[in-house]
């Protein structure tokens, strides 16, 4: 499977940061962040390797037993 990337960004003005959800190839992502960094110099963009689907799935499950989750 091809390695995919997402764009991570951070504002140099107020410190806010985030990570996109759209997946890019390395070449496409690099081209886009170069453009974004030129157009929006107050926000730093960089490529970040996306987590594999199994890693994301495992993070979505609660660490507590089902009995405790149902009690809420």
Q: Is the pLDDT of residue 61 over 60?
A: no
Give the start-end residues of each E strand in the chain.
Answer: 5-11, 17-19, 43-49
pLDDT for the residue numbered 51:
82
Q: Write the pLDDT tens digit of every residue in 6-38.
A: 999 999 999 999 999 999 999 999 999 999 999
Q: Which residue has the tokens 């890019």?
A: 24
pLDDT for the residue numbered 52:
59
pLDDT for the residue numbered 72:
47
Classify residue 21 by its DSSP letter: -
Task: Spell out a b/e string for 15-36, using b for 16 or more CB atoms within 10 Å of the CB, else e.
Answer: eeeeebeeebeeeebeebbeeb
pTM above threshold 0.85: no
* Domain membership of residue 14 as a residue range: 5-71
Q: Is the pLDDT of residue 41 over 90?
A: yes
18 vs 12: CA distance, rounded Å: 13
Q: Please give the tally of structural domains in the chain.
A: 1
């Amino acid at each position: 499977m091809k390695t995919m990337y997402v764009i991570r960004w951070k504002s140099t003005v107020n410190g806010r940061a985030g990570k996109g959800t759209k997946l890019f190839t390395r070449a496409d992502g690099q081209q886009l962040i170069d453009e974004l960094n030129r157009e929006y110099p107050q926000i730093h963009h960089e490529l970040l390797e996306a987590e594999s689907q199994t890693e994301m799935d495992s993070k979505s499950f609660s660490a507590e037993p089902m009995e405790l989750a149902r009690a809420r």
